[in-house]
Amino acid sequence: MQDTNKFKLGLFVTISLFVFIAAVLSMGVFDSLFKSRAHMATFVEESVQGLNSGSAVKFRGVPIGSISDITIIMESRTVRIDMEIDLSKFKTTLGKNIFTTPSIPAPEFYKYLHSEIDKGLCCRIEPDGITGIKYIEMDFFKDVDARHAGPEFQPGLRNGIFFMPSTPSLMSSLRFNMTEILANIATIDFRKISEETISLLERANKTLNDPRLDNLLNDAETILKKASETVETLNGTLTPEKLDLTLAELDKTIRSIRLLSDGLEKTLATSKIPQTTASIRELSDSFSTGDSSIKMTILKLNEALDAMTDLIQYINDNPSSVLHGKGRAKQ
Amino acid sequence: MRRRDDMTRRNSILLQIGDVSCVIWQETLSLIQFIGEAVSACADAVRRPRKIRWRETLFYMNMCGSDGLPITALICFLTGIILGYQCAVQMHKYGADAFLPGLVGCSVVRELGPMMVAIVATGRAGSAFAAEIGTMKVSEEIDAMRTMGFLPERFLVIPKLIAMTLTIPMLTVIGDVMGILGGMIVGHTSLGMPVQTYYQQTVEWVAPEYFFESIFKSVVFAVVITLTGCWRGFRAGNDAIAVGKATTSAVVISILFIILCDTFLAHVFNTIFFG
């Protein structure tokens, strides 16, 4: 057996160990031992497909931690997502060397979260590209309602875990809206619309095939032709000079009408119309009174004529009464 | 007439299947027996470490580790480049360039690194073990050992096993890093991804557990390669041709067992540990 090249073997072992230690350190194996962490949880009412233990948690796009557990709450049919937050990602001082600035302690971080929640901070599931992988995004989402319903969903620190409010993901909202739109579309009676459309088309077809429509069209065509001829005649007749003359005469006429109307206005102003009207009214009243007098007179005259007729009749029957006077009535 | 019938019967397919089944059964029994002897030898070595032939162990560590480092590193590096190129071309079509470090890192660390190192080690060490023990068998050295009261398994297998289980994980760690470096070069040159970004993405995607999975697999592969090489060497015939056949079968069976073990381990790790 050959002798071992111990230098080569030592070099190999040293390089291997160095590479191994470098790889392990760069992978952050001992991070959990030295880094301070905070625990958070949130509840969502949608599918968490694409979200796994170890998925990223980001605050306005900055990776700040990972998901530690995903469980189902049976009573409320919601999904609870537990997260571990690396507090070294949160610094308190601006403008200083970030490597020497210490990370904030967990109670201060929870206090900070509380104040930010009041300003609208909440969690949302976001897709990470087209791969189907998802992550938790913490941000100030505008025009969304963070869920606060129910005591278990109220944000705050309970049993060492900070509960964050959540809001439905964009996809979830989109799916809900789409479902609603589709439900509304489903209520439309397409069959009835189709039948009505067919009926309308049939009627339109009938109307179009009606021979009277052809006559109408012919008449319309004739009228249009005549109108066209008239327009042409007018064009020929109404030369610009004639048109100017006509307009000038029209202008004169309008002026005369205006003068006449001015004169009328003056006459009306001086004609004491109220007094004249009152006189006419009085005259009318007197006519009305005279009319009734005439009626009375005629009635009396009528009565007189009746009496005369009776008298003449009596004389005719008893001529002697002219000499003897009116006798007694026979019994 | 009877001779023709005998010929027909001898050449019948069923007879051949029967023969192959018998051979497989005998080989399986032999393998189980050999594994039992090796385990017994290991237990004995743990009880009495002074009896382990450390000089030979260092020699095999040098042979399998130090001597195999350049070719292993080169193969893993080139594997990383090939994987990086293929992924870069396909992923660039879908605008998924950012996922290249994760894909290359996870593939190399979890599967390709241990696998490539194991295949190289099979070609270098497994075949050497089979040839060495087969030659000793041809020259009746093994029979002489048994006659003198030595246990050949403890004498020949334990140093090789210790050397392989120590060096293959080391080679795997280096192979993993070289594969990631290969992918990094492709990511930087083909996709214009900054080295720092590639590194950060790799660290983000490749969990520390993946590294330990890689090392665990490499230990299993080292045991498989050593035991298969030694077993085929002990099962070799008594002539030069048989040694060649033992060497070939050692490589083929080792690769088969490595793939089988990798399939099983991939399932176990994905369902139990990373499920």
Does B171 lie at the interface with A, CB-CB under 8 angstroms? yes
Of all residues in chain A, the percent with pLDDT exceeding 70 is 88
Higher pLDDT, A66 or A93: A66
Higher pLDDT, A155 or B71: B71
**Average of per-residue pLDDT across A16-43:** 81
**pLDDT for the residue numbered A147:** 57
Cβ contacts (< 8 Å) between A2 and chain B: which residues? 59
Measured in Å, how far apart are chain A's first and last C-alpha atoms?
194
- Per-residue pLDDT band for A304 (boundaries 50, 70, 90) equals confident
Q: Do A63 and B61 touch (CB under 8 A)?
A: no
**Average of per-residue pLDDT across A251-267:** 88
Cβ contacts (< 8 Å) between B167 and chain A: which residues? 12
- Per-residue pLDDT band for A95 (boundaries 50, 70, 90) equals low
CB A68 within 8 A of CB A84: yes
Lowest mean pLDDT among A146-155, B64-73, B100-109: A146-155
> Residue B161, Cα to own-chain centre: how many angstroms?
12
Q: How far is B95 from chain A (nearest CA, A)?
A: 9
Of all residues in chain A, the percent with pLDDT exceeding 90 is 10
ipTM (interface pTM): 0.76
Kind and range of the H or E element at A52? none
Query: Interface of chain A against chain B, CB under 8 Å?
Result: 1-6, 8-9, 11-13, 15-17, 19-20, 23-24, 26-29, 54, 63, 129-131
Q: Is residue B202 in some structural domain?
A: yes
**Average of per-residue pLDDT across A18-47:** 81
Higher pLDDT, A210 or A142: A210
Going by the DSSP 8-state scheme, the letter that residue A89 receives in this structure is: G
Amino acid at B98: A
> Cβ-count burial of B27 within 10 angstroms (0-12 exposed, 13-18 middle, 19+ buried)?
middle
Size of interface A-B (CB pairs under 8 A): 71
**Nearest residue of B to residue A66 by CA position?**
B204
Q: Is residue B125 in some structural domain?
A: yes
CA-based nearest residue to B218, from B262, B250, B260, B179: B262
CB A104 within 8 A of CB A92: yes
Q: What angle do CA A73, A55, B181 make, to 5 degrees?
A: 160
Higher pLDDT, B20 or A101: B20
Contacts of A161 (CB under 8 A, 6+ apart): A39, A40, A41, A82
- What are B84-103's pLDDT values in tens digits? 999 999 988 888 888 899 99
Q: Do A9 and B207 touch (CB under 8 A)?
A: no
CB B97 within 8 A of CB B88: yes
Q: Is residue B32 in some structural domain?
A: no
CB A35 within 8 A of CB B210: no
Query: Residue B188: which domain range?
Result: 53-273
Q: How far is A66 from chain B (nearest CA, A)?
A: 11
Cβ contacts (< 8 Å) between A64 and chain B: which residues? none
**pLDDT for the residue numbered B207:** 86
**pLDDT for the residue numbered A327:** 62
**pLDDT for the residue numbered A49:** 87
CB B135 within 8 A of CB B156: no
**Nearest residue of B to residue A30 by CA position?**
B208
The whole-angstrom separation of Cα B179 and Cα B77 is 4
**pLDDT for the residue numbered A145:** 62
Kind and range of the H or E element at B156? none
Q: How far is A29 from chain B (nearest CA, A)?
A: 6
HEC profile for B83-138? HHHHHHHHHHHCCCHHHHHHHHHHHHHHHHHHHHHHHHHHHHHHHHHHHHHHHHHH
Number of domains chain B contains: 1
**Average of per-residue pLDDT across A188-198:** 90
Lowest mean pLDDT among A9-23, A171-185, B98-112: A171-185
Q: Do B99 and A129 touch (CB under 8 A)?
A: yes
Q: Is residue B34 in some structural domain?
A: no
- Per-residue pLDDT band for A330 (boundaries 50, 70, 90) equals very low
**pLDDT for the residue numbered A146:** 57
Q: Mean pLDDT: which of A17-31, A218-232, A303-317 is highest? A: A218-232
Lowest mean pLDDT among A82-91, A92-101, A104-113, B185-194: A92-101
**Nearest residue of A to residue B274 by CA position?**
A53
**Nearest residue of A to residue B70 by CA position?**
A12
Q: Is residue B12 in some structural domain?
A: no
pLDDT greater than 90 at residue B247: yes
What is the rounded (10 degree) CA torsion for A173, A174, A179, A183? 100
**pLDDT for the residue numbered A141:** 79
**Average of per-residue pLDDT across B179-206:** 90
- Per-residue pLDDT band for B254 (boundaries 50, 70, 90) equals very high
Tokens 């205006």: give the residue.
A258
Signed CA dihedral, A172, A174, A177, A179: sign only: negative
Q: Is residue B36 in some structural domain?
A: no
Cβ contacts (< 8 Å) between A28 and chain B: which residues? 203, 208
pLDDT greater than 50 at residue A90: yes
Q: Mean pLDDT: which of A135-149, B14-28, B71-85 is highest? A: B71-85
Going by the DSSP 8-state scheme, the letter that residue A60 receives in this structure is: T
Radius of gyration from C-alpha coordinates of chain B: 23
pLDDT greater than 80 at residue A109: yes
Does B155 lie at the interface with A, CB-CB under 8 angstroms? no
Residue in B62, B64, B197 to test binding to A, most A beta-carbons within 10 Å: B62
pLDDT greater than 90 at residue B173: yes
Interface of B with A in 181-200 (CB under 8 A): 199
Q: Is residue B22 in some structural domain?
A: no
Averaged confidence pLDDT in chain A: 82
Contacts of B136 (CB under 8 A, 6+ apart): B142, B156, B233
pLDDT greater than 60 at residue A148: no
pLDDT greater than 80 at residue A287: no
Of all residues in chain B, the percent with pLDDT exceeding 70 is 96
